[in-house]
Amino acid sequence: MHRITNISAYCFAPMSDLKSLREHLLDFCKAHDLKGTILLAPEGINLFVAGRHLAIEELVYELRTLPGLGDLQPKYSESEEQPFSRMLVRLKKEIIAFGVEGIDPSKYTSPRIRPRELKQWLDEGREIVLLDTRNDYEVKLGTFTGAKAIGIDHFRDFPEAVEALPEGLKGCPVVTFCTGGIRCEKAAPMMEKLGFDEVYQLDGGILKYFEEVGGEHYDGECFVFDHRVGLDPALRESGSVVCYACQTPLSAEEAEDPRYVAGESCPYCYRSDADKRQERIRSLQLRLDTFSETLPGSHPEDTRKPIRIPGSCDGLSLSQALQTMFPHTADGEWETMMAAGRLLAPDGTPAAPDRRVRSGEEYVRVIPMDVEPAVNGEVRILDEDEALIAIHKPAPLPMHACGRFRRNTLEHFLRQVWSPEVPRPIHRLDANTSGLVLCARTRHFARLLQPQFSQGRVAKQYLVKVSGRVTSERFRLDAPIAADPGPMGSRMIRDDGMPAVTEFELLERFDDDTSLLLARPITGRTNQIRVHLWDAGHPVVGDPAYLPEKQLGSRQTLGVSDPPMCLHSHRLSLDHPIHGRKVTFEAPQPAWAREAVPS
């Protein structure tokens, strides 16, 4: 089996007609089955190429025929396999990115020190500063004993890093070094320009040092930019690997770490599932904060609501179909809407009342621009997994579109932030009720979870502050609640209503003639906790609808600046839809309950 010859070389020399040269070199290398990278720039050439030894020598000969490259001096090494996967010839502004004006290695370089001379200085113990100009991830695999790393992630950061070096170094002899010497061609002259008195550059870099004197005064191996990753002082492949995820070079020992998974992670970038989940939650929270801060419903915008024609209305006129689908709509309302051009046909044009409809067609109702009332947009993500999202809902904030609220709602916020996912709240809170809301991440999980709520298998706990001094430590209210809404959407106690049961536990009595309770709704009727307490003579503090003395208020939703309604969804337990084990979620306690309820 033929061994592969690897060369690295660079030369600073004025170059022109680079596009034609690129095509010529690419054709030449492919014809000789060479692989690697050649960089061409007006300032010179930089290359890393591998192939059969004879083909490499022919490439070197070809390059030396180019103007300014007659003295090109490659550094050689061998490998068992081809370390490159393809052949690239690229045009660049610089063959080594630096971005500093006035540094031109074709005109001036700092004094060079040969590897043998550097070894002699180190043998003698001379007082010199060895400055490693490479990136931190390269230094990690190895460097000269006692060398100072410049501390950068990219060579373009070198100028800023040099300016941060201690002022006292400017009077010391400094020897700069890198992999093959090319970076020092710019690094060392820049240091001189910044006032360093005595700067040398290691001729040929670490690889030339290995080639001429071996590994004395050097600890570890040398990082190289190909599949070999690292070379030992004998210029043999070391067995190190590079993490695909973070590009950190890894020693053979580090590659045995269980956190190293080829193509995924290594000990330096490994993140547990919990870490990944928290990182996703932080990212989602940032998006949620950005979106909800603007309160989209507070800016005028038309609302478009789809209306899909059912099979039972096929062939009817549009007016007849709408009357059939929405029997409670006032007479003439749809005709007025169509006359104003606010009902659009499937093709987007205004729909006429006598238009014949077809099953499955989708019409769009356009609700004119309006400004919705302000809400509390400080929604917080408590947790998320593959099936569930736990949200802390502030108040006042409606959960769903209703009345004057269409975009200033929790559901709208979540759908915009999680798009293209559609989170589905699996239970409801009043707009004025704060606390824990659980959402299913998919329709599938929503279907699995809903029966637990409808069958009363979900344990829910609320914190509630009520008017009056509650005397019983524990009590139960089981008055039936009307299914149909009354004035302002309120619910009332009614003998023929739906069964409703709530258990209460007294937590604290306050001097202002209020009490703090823990409520456990056994059933899930609309406004159940509020209605039960109101009927029992202990209305919820701050409730705008169910007032003291069995009076009803004139509004349902509080304003942002109003005192809060003291009802808070605190804790919820259910069977997880994936693994079936009981899980419990909890929302932080509100300020009005925090001092009374232990954490």
pLDDT reading at 13 higher than 90: yes
The DSSP bridge pattern shows strands 502-509 and 514-521 to be antiparallel
Residues 189, 494: Cα–Cα separation, whole Å: 91
Place of tokens 């269980």: 258
- Ranges in the chain annotated CATH 3.30.70.100: 4-91
Report residue 265 as tokens: 């992670």
Residues 138, 155: Cα–Cα separation, whole Å: 11
Per-residue pLDDT of 376-408, as tens digits, reads 999 999 999 999 999 999 999 999 988 788 889
- Contact criterion met (CB below 8 Å) for 343 and 364: yes
- Ranges in the chain annotated CATH 3.30.2350.10: 376-599
- The residues assigned a catalytic role are 178
Q: What's the 3-state SS for 188-236?
A: HHHHHHCCCCEEEEECCHHHHHHHHHCCCCEEECEECCCCCCEECCCCC
| Cis peptide bond upstream of 563, omega within 30 | no
554 band by pLDDT with thresholds 50, 70 and 90: confident
Residue 64: strand, helix, or coil: helix
Q: Which CATH class is domain 4-91?
A: alpha beta
- CATH superfamily, domain 300-370, is RNA-binding S4 domain (3.10.290.10)
Q: Which of 294, 530, 549 is nearest to 433 (CA)?
A: 530
Residue 521: strand, helix, or coil: strand
Residue 465: strand, helix, or coil: strand
1 band by pLDDT with thresholds 50, 70 and 90: low
Report residue 195 as tokens: 């006032």
Residue 320: predicted pLDDT: 94
Residues 252, 220: Cα–Cα separation, whole Å: 12
For residues 278-296, average pLDDT: 91
pLDDT reading at 598 higher than 70: no
Per-residue pLDDT of 225-260, as tens digits, reads 887 888 999 998 887 888 877 778 887 788 888 888
Return the C-alpha torsion angle 55, 61, 62, 63, nearest 10.
110
- Contact criterion met (CB below 8 Å) for 425 and 547: no
Q: Tally Cβ neighbours within 10 Å of residue 381.
A: 18
| Cis peptide bond upstream of 396, omega within 30 | yes
Residues with Cβ within 8 Å of residue 376, at least 6 apart in sequence: 394, 395, 396, 397, 560
Q: Which residues pair with 317 in a beta bridge?
A: 356
Residue 269: predicted pLDDT: 84
pLDDT reading at 210 higher than 60: yes
Residue 595: predicted pLDDT: 60
Q: Which of 496, 494, 430 is nearest to 464 (CA)?
A: 430
Comparing 244-253, 310-319, 352-361, the range with the smallest average pLDDT is 244-253
Please report how many Cα atoms fall inside a 13 Å half-sphere around the Cα of residue 352, on the Cβ side: 3
pLDDT reading at 597 higher than 70: no
Per-residue pLDDT of 53-77, as tens digits, reads 999 999 999 999 999 999 999 999 8
Residues with Cβ within 8 Å of residue 482, at least 6 apart in sequence: 491, 492, 493, 494, 497, 498
- Contact criterion met (CB below 8 Å) for 476 and 500: no
Q: Which CATH class is domain 112-239?
A: alpha beta
- Contact criterion met (CB below 8 Å) for 571 and 461: yes
Per-residue pLDDT of 438-492, as tens digits, reads 999 999 999 999 999 988 899 999 999 999 999 999 999 999 999 888 887 788 9
pLDDT reading at 599 higher than 60: no
Residues with Cβ within 8 Å of residue 271, at least 6 apart in sequence: 265, 279
User: Considering the chain, what is the average pLDDT of its residues?
Assistant: 92
Report CA 224 to chain centroid distance, whole Å.
Answer: 32
Report residue 239 as tokens: 């067995």
CA distances for 411 relative to 19, 207, 302, 440, 587, angstroms: 56, 62, 18, 12, 18
CA distances for 313 relative to 230, 321, 325, 442, angstroms: 74, 6, 8, 31
Q: Which of 18, 54, 19 is nearest to 33 (CA)?
A: 54
Output the CA angle 436-441-443, nearest 5 degrees. 115
- Ranges in the chain annotated CATH 3.10.290.10: 300-370
- Ranges in the chain annotated CATH 3.40.250.10: 112-239
CATH assignment of 376-599, given 1.10.3720.10, 3.30.2350.10, 1.20.950.20, 3.20.20.210?
A: 3.30.2350.10
pLDDT reading at 495 higher than 50: yes
Burial 358-371 (b: 16+ CB within 10 A, else e): eeebebebbeeeee
Q: Which of 9, 74, 12, 10 is nearest to 42 (CA)?
A: 12
Residue 493: predicted pLDDT: 92
DSSP 375-442: -----EEEEE-SSEEEEEE-SS--SS-BTTBSSSSHHHHHHHHHTTS--EESS---TT-EEEEEEESS
Residues with Cβ within 8 Å of residue 471, at least 6 apart in sequence: none
Q: Which of 573, 577, 595, 574 is nearest to 586 (CA)?
A: 573
For residues 336-364, average pLDDT: 95
Q: Which amino acid is at 502?
A: T
Residues 466, 455: Cα–Cα separation, whole Å: 28
pLDDT reading at 95 higher than 80: yes
Residue 302: predicted pLDDT: 78
